[in-house]
Structure 1
Amino acid sequence: MTDIVSVNPAHPLLEIARMPASSTQEVDEAARRGAEAQRDWARLPASERGRALMAFADRLSSEAESLASLICDEVGKPIGEARAEVVRSVDILRYYAGLAMLPDGETLPSSTARGWLLSRRYPVGVIGMITPWNFPLAIPTWKAAPALAYGNAVLLKPASSAIGVARRFAAAAQESLPDGILHMLTGERDVAEAIIDHASVSAVSFTGSTVVGRSVAARAGARGAAVQCEMGGQNPSVVLRDADMEQAASTIATAITGYAGQKCTATSRVIVEDPLGDAFVDLLADRLKALKVGDPALPGTEVGPLIDAAARQSVLAAVASSSGRTITGGTAVDGLEGFYVTPTLVDVSSSRDVLIEQEVFGPVAAVVRARSREEALGLANYGTYGLVASVFTSDLEAAMTFCDELQVGMVKINAPTSGADFHAPFGGSRASALGPHEQGLAAREFFTQRRTLTLA
């Protein structure tokens, strides 16, 4: 039996977790047990499901510091960001514990004098969840919490780089929920495909790359399963001529490099309207140079390592293949044993550049100049992705125009592309998403199904 192993990206010789890969027989058993348990779970009063989620939240909260340390060690996330991820996950569980009590339907005028016509929401069934390593606690939580609140069961397959955090998440869930409601399965593509293909799995929620997400959607859709895919991003931050340059530079530097750029919402392109040009680019470069790169376990670290050697090589190769001029960074970090890359800014003139068209997933951004607001908007909408965009301006009319015209799922004015409010819909358009949005009240659309009821 093959073992799945995770290591510390800052200290690659340090093993963090080891678990045997799940077999297809184990997938089948988990799916069948989940389907059986889900029927009883769905019949419970919503208040009882809410109390179970509160107990789940309390369990994670009681382990907050050790969970944050594990996130830091297993995926290389700076300890401050790791602590914030734990707090956010606890808050998400408590939020959906409350949402379980919201009305689950509506009444409509009947076509008969004394009849009733209703539309009510019901659980979908067993949900397969395929999650990445970059938010090893928050993403499983924001998928599982609404699924559970609305009466579904969960099969969770985490990324192999984050099995230690996922194991802790699953253990906390299993201690708080009825037996069989949440199962964790480990492995690679074969395990994911077994989950997607299983007849007892009614829906699949995926977060990861666009290439893999489209494959998941096609496979699940082929047998009629519902699918939700949150995929890649190539996110622009637009700096208009009336922007507060100091605020924009500081905010964008953080959006480029937070968790070493390993977020689907990280800023990948910085579009600067003339005449700010060189002055803003120099300011942004200074902000990037000032960031502290180092061991994520140290309190002052702002930029930690990439997840593994292949990720670092991919980032460095993208910078090397760019036709642009590297302003700062673009190299591995000397003197550190982990998979570090210096914060990088590249001045690019061609829209066909690799740093403009591809998701690099590292602390790297391309700078593009725009001669006008209209050109800046066109550059921001260039390409196939459509997750999130930021616009920095003091002009309300400009802000409103960009809100209306940007082809993305989320627009932020004078705020970083990175980060999200868990009580608001999260998701993109175009090549960045398939299916309903996640989080907030929007999550109900995927994790429930409508049923129209007629009483004559």
Structure 2
Amino acid sequence: MTTVVSHNPADPGDRVVTTAAAGAAATARAVERARTAQAAWAAGGATARSAALARAATAIEDAADDLAALTVREVGKPLTEARAEAARTAAIWRYYAQFPYGPAGAVHESADGAGLLLTRRRPHGVAGLVTPWNFPLAIPGWKAAPALAAGNAVVLKPAPQATACALLLAETLRRALPDGLFTVVPGGVEEGSALTGTADAVSFTGSTAAGAAVVAAATARGVPVQAETGGLNAAIVLPDADIARAAAHIATALAGYAGQKCTATGRVIAVGTALEPLRAALAEELGKLPVGDPADPATVCGPLISRDARDRVREAAAGLPVVAAGTAPGGPGWYTAPVLVEAPDGHRLLREEVFGPVAALLPARDLDEAVRLGNAVPHGLVTSVHTAGLDSVLHALDRLDTGMIRVNAPSTGVDFHLPFGGTKTSGHGPREQGRTALEFYTASRTYTLAPAAGRTT
């Protein structure tokens, strides 16, 4: 029997959870149990679904301190961020609690005047969710809540590093949801493959390589699939920007949560005369950014999730000229200092997502070159643009090939009532979050209602 173990990245000797992996057969059985529960859930009506999701939000609020503390311990998220994630997760569930009452379709006039044409969106059945460790509460929330609101049941396969968080979330939701609607299957690749091979719709967030495999497997079965697979995000800073404010935003987006966000800034593009003042401002911001124990409310940059993750970051920046750097504490924990470097053309930092507190500084002659540099990567999740000029914003908005563009704001940060997702290798399928999420978790049907024979009215 395979065992799933997670460790505290701030204190690797602290074993957070040890549990048996579900295995492929048990994962398939979980999907079948969910399918049985889903039939009654979908038929139960809007009031029951809305009330259950509202109870789920309240249950998460009541357990917020425990959920946040476990998030700090298991994945090393700084306490202030962990508390914010728990609160946001509750808000997500409460937001989707209103959606069962929303329109499920539309009525259209018949072309020949007789009868009616209807469209109606219906749930798929069981939504299989494969989620990462870096947002162990919010990402399961923004997938599961709309899936349930639409009338589906959910089976969640969390990343092994966030197993304890997923189990506590399931225990919390058990007080609010009918049996069988939200099931967690601990495990790794075997369980993820089994879920992808049995669920009626599949939603994935994780690495590009794993996402491609999930998309291929689900597509081969002919079931709906969406995948959010990371980014190599750019911050573009123009000379007319508030340089100090831009540097503060970039430092936090580069190093917050040790850069372990798909929306983290990995490239900083300084346009024209912005280069030197931005270089100095970033050196100041990174130098004073708090790095250390994630349980300290003042910490912004905690540990990497594992030794391998820390080593990848250090290897990616090795030998490159350092523009700005923070500090790293000694002692246990997978810490590394946040760093901004200069990277030559073709370097891996300009091609690959490293997923850590490291970014490359690039000069651009003008906005046109900055846009070209911003687009010159396989990913297309988010770009931040820092400027005081409306003309510059309008010039760049539709030319930047990313799913999201944030003006005078960090690349990190998500508004859960708006669509979330990227272009190119950053995403596949419909967007997540907001009302758009319901489009993925339902299928549209068209009904033709013609009058009985001999009747025209």
Number of matched pairs: 450
Segments of structure 1 that go 5 or more residues without pairing to the other structure are none
Contact persistence 2:69–2:82 (CA under 8 A): yes
SS in 2 for 1:216: helix
Q: Which residue pairs with 2:332 in the alignment? A: 337
Q: Which residue pairs with 2:454 in the alignment? A: none
Q: Which residue pairs with 1:326 in the alignment? A: 322
SS in 2 for 1:118: strand
Q: Which residue pairs with 1:60 in the alignment? A: 60
* Equivalent residues in 2 for 1:259-338, closer than 5 Å: 259-320=257-318, 324-329=320-325, 333-338=328-333
Q: Which residue pairs with 1:26 in the alignment? A: 26
Shift of 1:16: 1.1
Shift of 1:46: 1.1
Q: Which residue pairs with 1:85 in the alignment? A: 85
Q: Deviations over 1:415-450 (max 9, x none)?
A: 010010000000000010000000001101100110
Letter in 2 for 1:438: E
Alignment partners' CA distance in 1, 2:322 and 2:170: 44
SS in 2 for 1:405: coil
Alignment partners' CA distance in 1, 2:272 and 2:395: 18
Q: Which residue pairs with 2:113 in the alignment? A: 113
SS in 1 for 2:230: coil
Alignment partners' CA distance in 1, 2:72 and 2:57: 20
Q: Say whether residues 1:217 and 2:211 are aligned partners.
A: no
Shift of 1:216: 0.6
Shift of 1:330: 8.5
Q: 1:432 aligns with which of 426, 432, 435?
A: 426
SS in 2 for 1:276: helix
SS in 1 for 2:121: strand
TM norm structure 1 = 0.97
Q: Say whether residues 1:353 and 2:347 are aligned partners.
A: yes
SS in 2 for 1:265: coil
Over aligned residues, Cα RMSD in angstroms? 1.2
SS in 2 for 1:157: strand
Alignment partners' CA distance in 2, 1:259 and 1:344: 14
Q: Say whether residues 1:454 and 2:448 are aligned partners.
A: yes
Shift of 1:334: 4.9
Letter in 1 for 2:342: D
Alignment partners' CA distance in 1, 2:304 and 2:325: 15
Contact persistence 1:294–1:336 (CA under 8 A): no
Q: Which residue pairs with 2:361 in the alignment? A: 367
Contact persistence 2:67–2:169 (CA under 8 A): no
Q: Say whether residues 1:140 and 2:137 are aligned partners.
A: no
Alignment partners' CA distance in 2, 1:276 and 1:74: 40
Letter in 2 for 1:105: G
Alignment partners' CA distance in 2, 1:82 and 1:401: 37
Alignment partners' CA distance in 1, 2:441 and 2:126: 10
Alignment partners' CA distance in 1, 2:401 and 2:174: 41
Shift of 1:283: 1.0
Q: Deviations over 1:2-43 (max 9, x none)?
A: 221111100110111121100222112111111111111111
Identity of aligned residues (%): 47
Q: 1:403 aligns with which of 387, 397, 408?
A: 397
Q: Deviations over 1:141-165 (max 9, x none)?
A: 0000000000001110000000111
Alignment partners' CA distance in 1, 2:263 and 2:76: 18
Contact persistence 1:319–1:330 (CA under 8 A): no
Alignment partners' CA distance in 1, 2:300 and 2:171: 31
Q: Which residue pairs with 1:38 in the alignment? A: 38
Q: 36-45 vs 167-176, which deviates more?
A: 167-176
Alignment partners' CA distance in 2, 1:100 and 1:281: 50
Alignment partners' CA distance in 2, 1:334 and 1:47: 52
Letter in 2 for 1:307: I
Letter in 2 for 1:270: V
Contact persistence 1:351–1:357 (CA under 8 A): no
Contact persistence 2:283–2:325 (CA under 8 A): no
Q: Deviations over 1:274-296 (max 9, x none)?
A: 11212211211110011111100
Shift of 1:259: 0.7
Q: Deviations over 1:331-382 (max 9, x none)?
A: 8x3523100010100023x331111111010011100001111111111111
Contact persistence 1:131–1:157 (CA under 8 A): yes
Shift of 1:183: 1.1
Shift of 1:112: 4.0
Letter in 2 for 1:329: A
Shift of 1:329: 3.4
Shift of 1:258: 1.1
Q: Which residue pairs with 2:455 in the alignment? A: none
Q: 1:441 aligns with which of 435, 440, 444?
A: 435
Shift of 1:78: 0.5
Alignment partners' CA distance in 1, 2:180 and 2:103: 27
Q: 274-283 vs 352-361, which deviates more?
A: 274-283
Contact persistence 1:388–1:428 (CA under 8 A): yes
Segments of structure 2 that go 5 or more residues without pairing to the other structure are 451-457
Alignment partners' CA distance in 1, 2:367 and 2:103: 45
Alignment partners' CA distance in 1, 2:317 and 2:174: 44
Alignment partners' CA distance in 2, 1:336 and 1:293: 13
Q: 35-44 vs 110-119, which deviates more?
A: 110-119
SS in 1 for 2:227: strand
Alignment partners' CA distance in 1, 2:355 and 2:449: 54
Alignment partners' CA distance in 1, 2:251 and 2:227: 28
Alignment partners' CA distance in 1, 2:217 and 2:125: 18
Alignment partners' CA distance in 2, 1:68 and 1:31: 29
Contact persistence 2:288–2:326 (CA under 8 A): no
